[in-house]
Amino acid sequence: MPPGLKRSYVDEANVRLSKKQPLLLEEVSSIKEHPLTSDGRLDSHSGSVGSENDPTDNEDGALVGETILCKTAQGHTEGGKAHKPPTGAEVRAIKAAQDLFLSSSFKLQVDALLPNIRPKDSRKPPLERFLFSLHAYLSSLPPVEPQHPLAAARALAEGSLLSNNSGKKKGSRRDGTGPPSQMVFVPYSSPAPTEDANWKVSFEKPSNIAIVGSWINNVAVKSPDGQPWVVDVAVEMPPGLFQEKDYMNYRFFHKRAFYLAVIAKHVSDPKSHLNVDVCYESKRGDTRLTTLILRHNHDNTPTDFSKLNAVIRIIPTLPTSSPIRQTRCSPTRSNFRVPLHELTGSDYENRPTPLYNAVLMLASSPLRDVLSVNTLKNDIPAYHDALSLLRVWANQRGYGGGRRTCIRGFEGAGPLWITSLELLIRGEEPRGEKNAKSLPSRTGLSSYQLFKAVLDLLSRHDFSHKPLFVKSKGGRLFAAEEYSGRFEAVLVDSSSCVNVLAGVPLASIEMLKLDARATLEVLDGTCGDPFSEVFLLDHRDLTSRFDCVLAVDLSSVARERISLHDVLENGSFSGALLTSLSIRLREALGSRVNALAILHRSSQPRPLSEGLPTDPTNIFIGLVLDQERAFRLVDQGPPATEPRSHAEEAFCELWGNKAEVRRFQDGSITESVVWHVQDSDKRAHIPVMIVQHILARHFGVGSGSVTSWQPEFDKLLRLPPTITSHYRTSGFKAALTAFQTLASTIKRLDKELPLAVANISPVAPELRYTSVFAPVSVPTDVVSTLQPCARYIQLIALNLEFEKSARWPDDLVTIQKTKMTFFERLAQVLAKNTPGLRARVATTLPTGVPPTADHAQLEITTPDGWAFALRIWHDREATLLDRILHSPPATLSSHDLENVREARRLYTQRFIAAPRHHRSVAALHHRFVAFGGTVRLVKRWLAAHWLLRLHVGEEAVEVLCAAMFVGVGPANVPSTRERGFARVVRLLRDWDWSNGVTIPLCGKSEPGPAVYSSAVPGAKGVWVLRTEADPDGRMWTVDAPNAGVESGVLNVHGMFVHPEDDYDFVVKLRPTVLPRYFQNVTADTAVWINSGNDASQNGEAPARPGFDPAEKYLDDLTRIYADTAKFFYDPLGGDRFGGIWDPSITKPLPFRVMNHFSSMPVTKEHFREKGKHRDSVVLNEDAVLSEIVRMGEGLVQR
Partner 1 sequence: MPPTNSSVGTISGFSILAVQYDHATHHMLYIRAHVGSSSKKNPKKTDWPEGRTMFMVNVPPDATEREIVLLFKSCGTVEKVIFDADEPGEDSDSDSDSDSTDDDTGSETSQPRARKRPPKSAADQSTRPNVVPLPVIPHRTLRKTGHTAHILFLDASSCTRALALARPGGKPIQWPVDGDTECPRGLAHYVLQYEADRPSLDAVRAHGDSASKYKKGEALVDEDGFTLVVRGGAYGQAVGGGVGVASRKFMDERVKRKGHKEGNTFYAFQIHEKKRDGATLLFFSSLFFTLNLISALLELKRKWEEDKAAVEKLKSSKKFKPY
SS3 content of the chain, % helix, strand, coil (to 5): 50, 15, 40
Smaller CB distance to partner 1: residue 19 or 1104?
Answer: 1104
1152 CB contacts (<8 Å, ≥6 apart)? none
Torsion over CA: 1186, 1187, 1191, 1195 (sign): negative
Smaller CB distance to partner 1: residue 822 or 868?
Answer: 822
Smaller CB distance to partner 1: residue 25 or 394?
Answer: 394
Min CB(1152)–partner 1 separation in Å = 6
Question: What's the start-to-end Cα distance of the chain, in Å?
Answer: 79
- Tell me which DSSP letter residue 374 carries: H
Min CB(393)–partner 1 separation in Å = 9
Phi-psi domain of 1156 (left: phi exceeds 0; alpha: psi -120 through 50; beta: other): left
The backbone torsions φ and ψ at residue 783, rounded to the nearest 5 degrees and listed phi first, read -55, -45
Smaller CB distance to partner 1: residue 325 or 1198?
Answer: 1198
Crossing angle for the helix pair 876-886 and 812-833, to the nearest 10 degrees: 170
Min CB(754)–partner 1 separation in Å = 5
Min CB(1128)–partner 1 separation in Å = 18
Q: Give the count of alpha carbons within 13 A of 590, CB side only.
A: 16
Smaller CB distance to partner 1: residue 130 or 448?
Answer: 448
Min CB(511)–partner 1 separation in Å = 20
Cβ neighbourhood burial of 428 (10 Å; 0-12, 13-18, 19+) = middle
Smaller CB distance to partner 1: residue 230 or 264?
Answer: 230
Identity at 379, one-letter amino acid code = D
Min CB(827)–partner 1 separation in Å = 6
Min CB(408)–partner 1 separation in Å = 21
Q: Tell me how far the alpha carbon of residue 947 is from its chain's centroid.
A: 25
Smaller CB distance to partner 1: residue 343 or 820?
Answer: 820
Crossing angle for the helix pair 447-460 and 104-113, to the nearest 10 degrees: 90
Smaller CB distance to partner 1: residue 604 or 828?
Answer: 828
Beta bridge partners of 1126: 1140
Smaller CB distance to partner 1: residue 671 or 801?
Answer: 801
The backbone torsions φ and ψ at residue 1069, rounded to the nearest 5 degrees and listed phi first, read -110, 160
Min CB(541)–partner 1 separation in Å = 13
Smaller CB distance to partner 1: residue 66 or 859?
Answer: 859
Min CB(58)–partner 1 separation in Å = 22
Q: Are 957 and 948 in contact (CB under 8 A)?
A: yes
Integer Cα distance of 964 and 545 in angstroms: 12
Smaller CB distance to partner 1: residue 650 or 912?
Answer: 912
Q: Are 101 and 107 in contact (CB under 8 A)?
A: yes
Integer Cα distance of 10 and 623 in angstroms: 43
Min CB(899)–partner 1 separation in Å = 8
Min CB(219)–partner 1 separation in Å = 17
Identity at 680, one-letter amino acid code = S
Q: Are 1110 and 1074 in contact (CB under 8 A)?
A: yes
Min CB(101)–partner 1 separation in Å = 11
Q: Are 393 and 454 in contact (CB under 8 A)?
A: no
Integer Cα distance of 753 and 826 in angstroms: 7
Smaller CB distance to partner 1: residue 391 or 426?
Answer: 391
Smaller CB distance to partner 1: residue 507 or 1195?
Answer: 1195
341 CB contacts (<8 Å, ≥6 apart)? none
Min CB(1070)–partner 1 separation in Å = 9
Smaller CB distance to partner 1: residue 564 or 1196?
Answer: 1196
For residue 191, say if its preceding peptide bond is cis, omega within 30 degrees of 0.
yes
Q: Are 1179 and 1141 in contact (CB under 8 A)?
A: yes
476 CB contacts (<8 Å, ≥6 apart)? 429, 469, 492, 496
Q: Tell me how far the alpha carbon of residue 491 is from its chain's centroid.
A: 27
238 CB contacts (<8 Å, ≥6 apart)? 204, 205, 206, 207, 319
Integer Cα distance of 183 and 160 in angstroms: 11
Min CB(1136)–partner 1 separation in Å = 16
